[in-house]
Amino acid sequence: MDQVIAWAGFLGAWLLVAGPLYQGAIELGEEDVDRDAIEASKAKVARPDLPSPWWWLIPPVMYVLWRRRSRAYRQAVLAQLNSSQREQFTSFINKANGWFTVAAGASLLAAEQSWHLSEGYRWPVWLFWVLIAVMLGAAVLNTALRMSRAAQAPGSGPA
């Protein structure tokens, strides 16, 4: 019975990963965002130059420089958007972050369940990492295939 419970916990945890990924993809696809206008506004702002590769010798400094330039670029793009576009963009980003957070938390729980399962069977550590990669890949592939099928279904508009 312990093995059945271990497998049930493992599968349940990975379903908790796949579910938010799929639901998030559905909701983000249905989000009313004027993508063309936002892209046009984005094209008006020059992308910042990347910091010199020499800064990789001091990774924390490279990270700070990259973040500053990225933040300034994002603010410049947002300044180009009208209030309606800004609201659409903000709503989209907030939903995306919410679903990503749920899926990331579920992934941590799934990793724990996968570890307990691999310990119970005394599998080598490398097999644990393969299991994580395969299950995460399956969750992402499930979402991609379902979204692709939905887009090809008769009567469905562009996502």
pLDDT digits (tens, 9 = 90+) for 69-97: 999 998 998 899 999 889 998 899 999 99
| 157: DSSP letter | -
| The pLDDT value given to residue 155 | 64
- Decide if pLDDT at 123 tops 70: yes
Cα–Cα distances in Å, from 3 out to 12, 110, 139?
14, 16, 23
H/E element, 59: helix 59-80
H/E element, 27: helix 2-30
SS3 (DSSP) at 33 = coil
Number of CB atoms found within 10 A of residue 50's CB: 11
SS3 (DSSP) at 31 = coil
Joined tokens for residue 147: 């979204």
**pTM, rounded to two decimals:** 0.77
Domain ranges, ordered by start, for the chain = 2-43+89-152
CA–CA separation, 140 and 133 (whole Å): 11
Q: Which of 1, 3, 6, 19 is nearest to 138 (CA)?
A: 19
pLDDT above 90 coverage of the chain, percent? 71
